[in-house]
Chains A and B, each alone.
Chain A
Amino acid sequence: MPQSAAARSERRAERSLGALSSLVLVLITAMCLFVLLKAWPSFSHNGPMWFGWGGNVDDQLAAIFNSPANPAKWDYTIRTWPILYATALLTIVSVGIGIVISTLAAVFIVEFAPPSVKRIVSPVVRLLAAVPSVIYGLIGILVLVPFVGNHLISEGRKGSVTFVVQLSGASLGVAVVILTLMITPIMIAIIADALRAVPNGWKEGALALGANRWRVMWTVVVRTARPAIVAAAVIAAARAIGEGIMLAMVSGSVGFAPNPLDGITFVFEPLRPYAATIVDNAEGLSVKPFGQTIYAMAAILLFASLMLSLGGTLAKRPLRKYGVRL
């Protein structure tokens, strides 16, 4: 019976493709399990104070790294508030600036740019998205950081905080500028796609009612595409939270929480988010308690990116009704 043999091989094909596809789910489950199990001692020793403040986080990391050999005496005490704060600060500020820039840029590309300009701007956006993060980091650390350190921070300003932190130029300001530059191209692409998907009739209707082109874009098209802007922000936030290499290069790599009350100095203060902490300390992973602490930070990143993926899916749902799939 060749018919049933064919049917059987059909079923086999479907099953094996399904199994192949399910590998992704296995990977995610394994990732969550492995990382959480490895990270557990660090969380359970500190409790909620893992996220708290107190002491110098860099000194605490050094103490954990130099734990005695006896497992019973391993040091786990860590208060990661400065790192958590740095991660949140960098992500929120650069995504906030990124939303404004990328919405304007997307409107420009979709509506205002003449075709000749459009032919230049679209590849430029793709180019900026394709540049590897390490190149951004290299330009940051070799060009922007020395420039800021030598020309923008006065000696008096350096002296004013010298007992708390050294201002070298590697700072919140430089990190935010480069991070924003890195995430805007992704946001522009998503928002521009959504703007293009808004039905032309709606635009023409508003134009016919006498609204000018900016008003039409702002009140009709951008408003319709709001879910896409949220989705873009979420995806950009995931990128910003996970960016380790570039930030390890330009953020100063000091476990310090910049204080907004310092005025302008705030912008020049160094900091270090979770991802950069992992990059900086990758050498010490084989020291058991230290490795567990670093994996705890990875668990936080993993949790945050899971939540952001969920948020992104929810944010994109309203767009389905316009037939936009991102």
Chain B
Amino acid sequence: MSTSSRPDVVHRRGKDTVKSWPLADRIAYYACWAVGIGLCLVAASLILFMLNKGLQYVSLDLIFSNPAVGSDQSQTGGFLAPLLGTFILTLLGTIIAIPLGVGTAVWIVEYGRPARLARAVESGIEVVAGTPSIVLGIFGLLLFSNGIFAFMSFRALGGAVGGRSFLTAGVMMSFIALPLIFTSTREALQQVPAQVREASYALGKTKWSTIRKVLIPTARPGILTGTALGMGRIAGDTAIVVILLGATMQIEKVGSAPLVSTLRGSGSTLTSYVYNNSPAGEGNAPQKAYAAAFVLLLLVLALNFGIDLLSRRTKKEIV
């Protein structure tokens, strides 16, 4: 008889349909659906709205011309300088953040002695992750206005140090990307099985060369994911740019050395361009703001798409 009772059980489990639930539970169930669908609708309308505005206002002219002073939107030029600024700043911030983040993660996972210091560093990174970027920016201004950091920005005639440059903003931006790179590197290192390390030691490799030749290559997808996340965060941050990069119209070089002059100079990024061209900023040019915001959104979404591909590939490799 057992064969006939088994379908019975399956049948009863199938009867737990939402319709048979008490009213309160049904309301909660539909609330869950409503929130889920609502989020999708919000995201879809946001993307479609930006797409509409972007296609309306973006033109190659706008992307390949520099901002200019003008009385209305037809004269104020495009956003080549902010676009370059975004690339420079993102690159600079990531280049500083990768060694810091990866090094810290390796130390925490592989060495981690003294344990108390390791714990302090871990919570320190959490504190940095929670610090508002506006505070990081305003602190950076205070720090880099000191005389010893004059080489990073410019020195005014009176001897006061400006503190505003791509270099100083890049250093502070790296602390925005640091927690993301650290966390995903740490996760990746913790997922490396202990046998891999033991096999490497058994072959006579030292700990340091195991880290360099075995662990970091294995953790590379994790490092890349964290880096991409960090790049997205840097490209999207406005507060540090407004305070520490100066948000000037053009890239203003300092000195005459070819690359260093740009890095020591102030400039702007797409985010500060959007902010300054919105009604909240000085140059009220909504069309330019929409166009730049659209380009920025495309960059960020492309990064996100890259992260998705990366995580899908790594999952296949691990499992």
Contacts and interface: CB of A to CB of B under 8 A. Distances in A.
B126 A313 contact: yes
A126 B304 contact: yes
B60 interface: no
A264 B120 CA distance: 47
A248 B29 CA distance: 37
A271 B308 CA distance: 39
Given A298-B139, A301-B134, A131 B206 contact: no
A120 B41 CA distance: 11
A121 B130 contact: no
B319 interface: no
B296 A27 contact: no
- B104, B132, B208, most chain A CB atoms within 10 A: B132
Contact of A282 (B35, B39, B243, B304): B243
A212 B36 contact: no
Interface stretch (B147-155, B229-237, B251-259, B260-268): B229-237
Interface in B1-26: 16, 20-21, 25
Interface of B (DSSP majority class): helix
A31 B131 CA distance: 10
B280 A309 contact: no
Interface in B79-111: 99-100, 103-104, 106-108, 111
A155 B239 CA distance: 35
B141 A285 contact: yes
B100 A138 contact: no
Interface string B242-285: 11000000000000000000000000000100110011100000
Contacts of B65: none
Contact of B43 (A17, A124, A213, A214): A124
Contacts of A109: 36
Interface residues of A, number: 82
A166 B297 CA distance: 33
Query: Main SS of chain A's interface residues?
Result: helix
Given A24-B124, A212-B21, A132 B132 contact: no
B185 interface: no
A213 B20 CA distance: 11
A123 interface: yes
Contact of A34 (B117, B139, B297): B139
Contacts of B297: 131-132, 135
A28 B130 CA distance: 12
29 contacts: A14-B111, A17-B107, A21-B104, A27-B175, A30-B143, A35-B142, A104-B35, A105-B35, A108-B36, A109-B36, A120-B40, A127-B43, A132-B237, A132-B300, A134-B236, A134-B274, A135-B296, A137-B275, A139-B46, A141-B278, A241-B132, A243-B132, A244-B134, A244-B239, A275-B134, A282-B243, A305-B135, A306-B130, A309-B127
Given A28-B127, A113-B36, A245-B242, 13 more contacts: A28-B124, A112-B29, A127-B304, A128-B46, A141-B280, A142-B278, A142-B279, A142-B286, A212-B20, A214-B21, A282-B242, A282-B243, A305-B131
Interface of A: 6, 9-10, 13-14, 17-18, 20-25, 27-28, 30-31, 34-35, 38, 101, 104-105, 107-109, 112-113, 117, 120-121, 123-128, 130-135, 137-139, 141-143, 181, 184, 212-215, 218, 235, 238, 241-245, 248-249, 253, 275, 278-279, 282, 285, 294-295, 298, 301-302, 305-306, 308-309, 312-313
